[in-house]
Structure 1
Amino acid sequence: MKKILLLFVLAAISISCKNEEKKETKKENFPNELAKVFEKHGGIEAWKKAKTLSFNKGDEVYTTDLQSRKIVVKAPNYSLGFDGKEVWLSQKDSTAFKGNKNFYYNLYFYFYAMPFVLADDGIMYEKTTDLVFDGVSYPGFKISYKANIGSSPDDNYLIYYNKDSYQMEWLAYTVTFNSKKPSEKYSIIRYNDWNSVSSLLLPKSITWYNQDSIGAPTEPKRAATEFTLPLISDTKISDSFFEKPTK
């Protein structure tokens, strides 16, 4: 029902936005191999034109304005989001949401919007050592951020792809949100399968893996995290949608 309502909202707004002025597409500058990964997943131009992304993770419904990165996460007993200025939390009681709202509100958006979020401004790229799993080598790139970009500029990502198809296969990442210090401790995710959503290839499920002494993946750490009801739209949602509920 929530997804149906969102579709109606998008359709209504679309009528009033037909005369919106088109923006010039900025020419991007990525390493050639990484550009092929983006192209395999639908292309940066298509991603940049999209206005709204929505998906479900369990009973959480995520809706993001892709241009401003405003976001709302709605669950039965709580909601949280970013209105463009601050991260907010609304819950039925003090135990409904047990995480850190500032860390959690866009966490799964980033995992879901791979590899496209690795084309954001302020990113630096460098080739990294291949990841080897079950005898198969996956080439990769290290992604780091320029100073003062985002809330955790010391975070690093390692993206690995299929050397023949250029489809993304693995993501390794560090977490520096709490420590605010660089880290060499990586967690690793396998991107299991994909959905074609409005010409973009977005993940259907991801699985965290255990790692050996040198950081190579070994076996799944837990059951796969599944994403459902994906939606990409070129229609912008009203800013009021992302504001904290008044009750």
Structure 2
Amino acid sequence: MKKLTILVALTMLIASCKNESKREIKKEKFPEELGKVFQNHGGIENWRKARTLSFNKGEEAHTVDLKSRKTLINTPNYSMGYNGKEVWLSEKDSGTYKGNPSFYHNLFFYFYAMPFVLADDGIIYSEAKSISFEGKEFPGVKISYEANVGSSPDDNYIIYYNPENYQMEWLAYTVTFRSKKPSDRYNLIRYEEWKASDGFKFPKKITWYQKDENGQPTKPARPATEFTLPLVSKTALKDASFEKPIKE
């Protein structure tokens, strides 16, 4: 009877382990190579434990709730954000901000939180041709989205990584926010420098690049965009932090 009890217990344990393994496989559907990129930059499991990310881009102070994707951008002249329902803009002087808040409020969060945002729900992965720069090849992984995912489900990304250490090096992306139509015109960003913070690597500097007729990077298209003051916290901010301020 004792041997039977032990056998039943072992059988249940093995079944439990198999089910857990199946859940993990189902949960982590990204390619092995991309998983290695995540690991190089701090680990996807560590990222999923984080709740709040903040960073500065010039005079802009960006704060994002990593679960709800509520956002807040504060500057000396205006603030904007997403409270989970709508995108809002608050200006000290009317007409200070010239862009489109719906497009801009989370734009640099996606560039800054690379590569981890490429593990979001609703993503489809496929192989991409590598690119070459200064005699080195960078393999690529293409990211597309299932229908009705986010405000621009037709956007595509390609992440290119260093095959020696799996550090992210380049990002190609399309923009369909305005047209709402698929595009094969890719913009290209070089991730030139990384800064270690709170167990993760965050970009210190990114540069948009020109391409030749074969889609290979050639030279910078504009001055580099620089980021400072990265901070990751496991603590969530209050919902009120992302609401439009009430003018007195």
| Cα distance in structure 2, aligned partners of 1:119 and 1:216 | 26
Partner of 2:28: 28
Alignment of 1:171-210 (within 5 A): 171-210=171-210
2:115 alignment partner in structure 1: 115
**In structure 2, what is the Cα distance between the partners aligned to 1:219 and 1:94?**
38
1:44 aligns with 2:70: no
Are 1:75 and 2:75 an aligned pair? yes
Unaligned runs of 5+ in 1: 1-23
Separation in 2, partners of 1:213, 1:130: 15
Listed one character per residue, the Cα deviations across residues 47-81 of structure 1 (whole Å, up to 9, x for unaligned) are: 00001000000000000011110000001000000
The structure with the larger Rg is 2
Task: Let me know the Cα RMSD of the aligned residues.
Answer: 1.3
Question: Which runs of structure 2 are paired with 1:3-14 in the superposition (5 Å)?
Answer: none
SS in 1 for 2:178: coil
Q: Which ranges of 4 or more aligned residues in structure 1 deviate by more than 2 Å?
A: 24-27
- Once the two structures are superposed, the pairs formed by residues 94-243 of structure 1 within 5 Å of their partners are 94-243=94-243
Q: C-alpha distance in 2, partners of 1:179/1:214?
A: 25
Residue type of the alignment partner of 1:232: V
Q: Which position in structure 2 is the counterpart of 1:7?
A: none
Question: Partners of 1:213 and 1:246 in 2: how far apart?
Answer: 51
CA distance in 2, matches of 1:215, 1:60: 32
Deviations 1:88-115 (A, max 9, x none): 0000122211000100000000000000
Unaligned 5+ residue runs, structure 2? 1-22
**Alpha-carbon distance, 1:28 to partner:** 1.6
Q: Distance in 2 between matches of 1:142 and 1:30?
A: 11
The structure with the greater share of residues assigned to helix is 2
Task: Output the TM-score relative to the length of structure 1.
Answer: 0.89
CA–CA distance in 2 between the matches of 1:66 and 1:84?
Answer: 12
Q: How far apart, in 2, do the equivalents of 1:102 and 1:165 lie?
A: 36
With a CA cutoff of 8 Å and minimum separation of 6, indicate the structure with the bigger relative contact order: 1
Identity %: 63
Q: Give the TM-score taking structure 2 as reference length.
A: 0.88
Matches of 2:29 and 2:184 in 1, distance apart?
27
